[in-house]
Amino acid sequence: MLEIKNLHAEVDGQPILRGIDLTVNAGEVHAIMGPNGSGKSTLSHVLAGRDDYEITEGSVTYKGEDLLELEPEDRAAQGVFLAFQYPIEIPGVATMTFLKTALNAQRKSRGEDELPTPEFMKLVREKSAELKIAQEMLRRSINVGFSGGEKKRAEILQMAVLEPFLCVLDETDSGLDIDALKIVAEGVNLLRGPDRAMVVITHYQRLLNYIVPDHVHVLSAGRIVRSGGKELALELEESGYAAYETNEADAA
Amino acid sequence: MSVNIQRSDAENAYLDAFAVAEDTLPDAAWLEPMRKAARDRFAETGLPHRRMEAWRWTDLRTILDQGFPPALSERQEGAGGVAQNSAFAALDRHIVTFVDGYFRADLSDFDGLAGEVETVLLGAGLADAPGWLKDRFGQAFPDAEDTLSALNTAFLTGGIAISVPAGTKVAKPIELVFAGTGTAPETLNTRCLIHVAKGADVTVLDSHTGAGAGSYVANNWTEVFVEDGGRAQHVKVQAEAPDAVHLANLHAVVGAEADFRAFCLHTGARAARNQIQVRLAGEGGHANIASAYMLSGRQHCDTALMVDHAVAKCTSNELFKCVMDDHARGIFQGKIIVRPDAQQTDGMQMTKGLLLSETAEFDAKPELEIFADDVRCTHGATSGELDEDSMFYLRSRGIPVDEAKSLLIGAFIGEAIEEVVGDEIRDGLTAFVAHMRDQAKESI
C-alpha cells in the first residue's frame, strides 16, 4: 500500500531524512523506533503533506499513486491519516462539527453521498463509547481543555470515524500513563484489519506490548538502519539506541 | 480678519439644508434651542477630517465625496420584506421599521409592547414629548462636541424612544430595522432612546441594512439610560448597502449595580464610523462591549470607544474581533478613563485583528487614563494571520482550504458573539456570519 523509496527530505536547508526505504502492505503493522532527532516526526509530517519540508530525492507511492503530489486534504480523502504527537487546540470549532465536516468533505471528494446527521451521530456515539470518550467532550472545541490522554484518544476517535487505510501514529504514547495507553491501544487494535496498514512511530517499546507490530524498524539519522520482527523492539529496550547512534555521528 | 473656509460638497449640502429643515421638520418648541445649537456647531466645524486626532484614520470629509443632503421628505414605499432578511428573522420579536429615515407602520409590528413599555415615535411624536424623554434627549454626554450628533439633532426625521417601567422585564426582544434604499444619495438621520428604569430589563436588536444598491449615508444616534439595578442589551448588525456610509453614536449611562451590554457586527458599508461612549455612573455597574468586523474589498470600519469609570467598584469588559480581507481596513480606538474616586475598578480590553491578505490592515489604539490607585485595568491588542498549524490540522482530516478558513474565521468571530446573552440571538448572528461568508465566496 505504501512504498517509500530513497526518500530524502530537508527543512530550512538542513537534511533530516537521508534515504528512507520502507514498504508497508495492507494488513500490516510496522513500528518505527529511534532516538530523538532521528527524523521520526519529519517522516510522519512528510507523509501527511506538511509543506515546511522539502523533498530533495526519492518517492512515496500510496496505492500505486504519487503521494507527494497530493494536497493534505486529498491525501486524507484517499485514506491517509496522521495521528499527531501534539494535537493542537482549535478554540471555537466544536469537535462534533469538525468530525462531521471532515467526514463529509472526504466523502464528497470520493464522489460519495454525505452522511446524514442522524447516521453520523450514531456512528460517533458508537465509536466514542468504545474509546470511553464522553459525549460532553464532543461538544467542546477541538482539544480545548482536553488532558494529554484525552487528546490522544480524540485522535483515535477521528481515525475510527474517518476509517482511513493508512494510519500513521506519531508517538501516540508520549505523555500517556499506563491506563490511558491501554485505552488508546485498544482503540487502535479495533481498527486493525486486512485492508488497513499502520505505521506506529514510537520512542519507547512499551506501546508495542499493546499494539503488537509485524515489523520493527530502527530509524537513525534519517535512515532505517535495521529491520526485524517484534523481538527487535525488546532488544532495543534492553540495549538502547547507542549502537545505532554512530550513524548519526557519521552523518553529521 | 475672517478666513473663508472652503467647504466640501457634502458640507455645503448640509449647510444648504438647514433652512429646508427648519421649514419641513415637525415643530417641537423644547427641541428648538438644541437644533439651533447643532446647526451653529456644524456651521463652525464642518465635517471631521484626518488632522483631528480622533479621526486620523477616517477622513470623513474625503469619504463623503459628494453631497448627501438630509432626507427630509417621506418616501412611503420600498424595502418591503426587509425584516425577513434580518439576522434576527427567526426570532419571536417586536419589529419597528424605518426606511430612508422615516417610520413605516406597514413594515412594523409592535402592538404587543403596549402595556409593557411606553414608546414614542420620534418624528411627529417629538412635539408632545413626555418628560422622561425631554430630560434625557441628547443628555447622556451633553458636552461631547461631535459633528455626527449635531447633524442628527438638526435633521432628525425618524426614530423611537422606549421607556421600560421599573421592575419590568420585557419578554421579547425589540428589533429596530433601519433600512436605506439608496434611491437618492441622502443622509438618513435616525434616533433611538432607551430608558430602563430601576430593575427593568430589555434587549434591543438593531438591524442596519441596505435595501437596494444605491449610495446613502446612515447617521444613527442611540442613547441608553440604565437606572440602578437595570439591565439593557443592545445587539446591532451593520449590514448597510455596499456603497453606503454608516455613522453611528451609541451613548450609555449605567447606574448602580446595573448592567449594559452592547454588541455590534460590521459587515456592510464602504465606510463605517462607530462611536461608543459609556459612563459607569453608579457603584457596582457593569459594561460589556463586544464587536466583530467582517471586512473585505476596500471596506473601512472605525470604532472609537470610550468607557468612563466615574465611580468606584465598576467593571468593564471589551472584546473586539476584526477580520480584514483584500484591502480592507479595520480600526479600533479604545479609551478607558478611571476617575480619581473610581477605586476597585476592574477593566479589561482585548482587540484581535485577523488579516486574510497581505494588503489588509488593522490599527488598534488603546488608551488608558487612570487616576485612581486601587485599579485593575488590563488591555491587549494582537494582529495576525490564520494559524498555519490549525489550517494544516483541518486539511489533514480532509477539509479543503476554503472550508477550513471558514471554520477558523467562524471560530474567531464566534468568540465575540459569545458575549451576547440569548441563545437564539447568538444563533441568528452565527448563521448570519456564515451566510455573509458564503456570499463573499460566491462573488469571487
| Least confident window among A180-194, A234-248, B202-216 | A234-248
Within-domain flag for B375: no
The pLDDT tens digits of the residues spanning A107-122 come to 999 999 999 999 999 9
What ipTM was assigned to the predicted interfaces of this complex?
0.94
Q: For position B4, what pLDDT does the model report?
A: 62
Q: Which regions in chain B score pLDDT beneath 50? A: 1-2, 444
Within-domain flag for B128: yes
B422 & B276 share domain: no
Of A191, A201, A194, whose CA–CA distance to A163 is shortest?
A: A191
Question: Distance (Å, rounded) from C-alpha B169 to C-alpha B159?
Answer: 22
Of B329, B265, B274, B273, whose CA–CA distance to B297 is shortest?
A: B329
Burial of B414 (0-12, 13-18, 19+ CB in 10 A): buried
The pLDDT tens digits of the residues spanning A38-71 come to 899 899 999 999 988 999 999 999 999 999 999 9
Within-domain flag for B313: no
Question: Distance (Å, rounded) from C-alpha B71 to C-alpha B56?
Answer: 28
Q: How many C-beta neighbours within 10 Å does residue B309 have?
A: 32
Q: Which residues of A touch B389 (CB under 8 A)?
A: 88
Q: For position B280, what pLDDT does the model report?
A: 98
Contact predicate B301/B330, CB 8 Å:
yes
The answer to whether the Cβ–Cβ distance between A105 and B403 falls below 8 Å is yes
Residue B111 is given by DSSP the state: G
Question: Distance (Å, rounded) from C-alpha A232 to C-alpha A241?
Answer: 12
Final residue before a domain boundary, out of B282, B305, B322: B282
Q: Which residues of A touch B393 (CB under 8 A)?
A: 84, 87-88, 90, 142
Within-domain flag for B410: yes
B128 & B251 share domain: yes
For residue B336, what are the β-bridge partners? B307, B368
Q: Which residues of B touch A93 (CB under 8 A)?
A: 407-408, 410-411
Question: Distance (Å, rounded) from C-alpha B386 to C-alpha B403?
Answer: 13
- For testing contact with chain B, the best of A45, A70, A89, A93 (most B CBs within 10 A): A93
Within-domain flag for B340: no
B192 & B78 share domain: yes
Contact predicate A58/A21, CB 8 Å:
no
Residue in this structure with the C-alpha cell 415643530, named with its chain if needed: B27
**pLDDT band, very low/low/confident/very high, at A176 (cuts 50, 70, 90):** confident
Alpha helices of chain A — where are they, by DSSP H? Answer: 40-48, 72-77, 95-109, 117-130, 135-139, 148-162, 178-191, 207-210, 231-239, 242-251
Final residue before a domain boundary, out of B238, B266, B282: B282
Report CA dihedral (B105, B110, B116, B119) to the nearest 10 degrees: -30
B390 to chain A: closest CA residue: A90
- For testing contact with chain A, the best of B390, B395, B423, B427 (most A CBs within 10 A): B395
The Cα of B388 is separated from the nearest Cα of chain A by a number of Å equal to: 10
The answer to whether the Cβ–Cβ distance between A101 and B407 falls below 8 Å is yes
Contact predicate A184/A172, CB 8 Å:
yes
Q: Which residues contact B237 (CB under 8 A, 6 or more apart)?
A: B86, B87, B88, B205, B206, B207, B208, B209, B264, B265, B267, B429, B432
Question: Distance (Å, rounded) from C-alpha A208 to C-alpha A202?
Answer: 9
Final residue before a domain boundary, out of B282, B314, B337: B282
Contact predicate B203/B233, CB 8 Å:
yes
B278 & B392 share domain: no
Question: Distance (Å, rounded) from C-alpha B408 to C-alpha A197?
Answer: 32
Q: For position B443, what pLDDT does the model report?
A: 57
Contact predicate B302/B274, CB 8 Å:
yes
Q: Which domain holds residue B87?
A: 9-282
CA B200 to chain centre: 22
Question: Distance (Å, rounded) from C-alpha B128 to C-alpha B155?
Answer: 18
Q: For position B2, what pLDDT does the model report?
A: 47
B89 & B202 share domain: yes
> Reading across the β-sheet that carries B329-338, which strands appear in turn?
B118-121, B158-164, B187-196, B217-226, B245-254, B271-280, B300-309, B329-338, B361-370
Of B186, B152, B188, whose CA–CA distance to B31 is shortest?
A: B152
- Pairing of the two strands A65-66 and A54-62: antiparallel
Q: Which residues contact B318 (CB under 8 A, 6 or more apart)?
A: B288, B289, B290, B305, B307, B334, B348, B349, B350, B351
The answer to whether the Cβ–Cβ distance between B395 and A76 falls below 8 Å is yes
Within-domain flag for B211: yes
What's the maximum distance between 2 C-alpha atoms anywhere in chain A? Answer: 58
Question: Distance (Å, rounded) from C-alpha B181 to C-alpha B240?
Answer: 10
The pLDDT tens digits of the residues spanning B378-433 come to 999 999 999 999 999 999 999 999 999 999 999 999 999 999 999 999 999 999 99
Q: Which residues of B touch A82 (CB under 8 A)?
A: 396
Residue in this structure with the C-alpha cell 443632503, named with its chain if needed: B69
Residue B198 is given by DSSP the state: T
B277 & B391 share domain: no
Contact predicate B268/B86, CB 8 Å:
no
Within-domain flag for B65: yes
Q: For position B86, what pLDDT does the model report?
A: 92
What are the strands, taking DSSP E only, across B165-283?
A: 174-180, 187-196, 201-210, 217-226, 231-239, 245-254, 259-266, 271-280
Question: Could you tell me what percent of chain A has a pLDDT over 70?
Answer: 97
Within-domain flag for B417: yes
| Least confident window among A180-184, A224-228, B61-65, B109-113 | A180-184
The pLDDT tens digits of the residues spanning A18-40 come to 999 999 999 999 999 988 888 99
Of B336, B340, B338, whose CA–CA distance to B350 is shortest?
A: B336
Residue B227 is given by DSSP the state: -
Contact predicate B272/B264, CB 8 Å:
no
Count of structural domains within chain B: 2
B79 & B191 share domain: yes
The answer to whether the Cβ–Cβ distance between B394 and A98 falls below 8 Å is yes
The answer to whether the Cβ–Cβ distance between A84 and B399 falls below 8 Å is no
Cell of B26: 415637525
Backbone angles phi, psi at B95, to 5 degrees: -130, 130
Q: Backbone dihedral region of B404: left (phi > 0), alpha (psi from -120 to 50 degrees) or beta?
A: alpha
Q: For position B244, what pLDDT does the model report?
A: 97
User: Which residue among A50, A92, A101 sits closest to B399, beta carbon to beta carbon?
Assistant: A101
Contact predicate B109/B95, CB 8 Å:
yes
Question: Could you tell me what percent of chain A has a pLDDT over 90?
Answer: 68
Predicted model pTM: 0.91
B391 & B273 share domain: no
The answer to whether the Cβ–Cβ distance between A90 and B399 falls below 8 Å is no
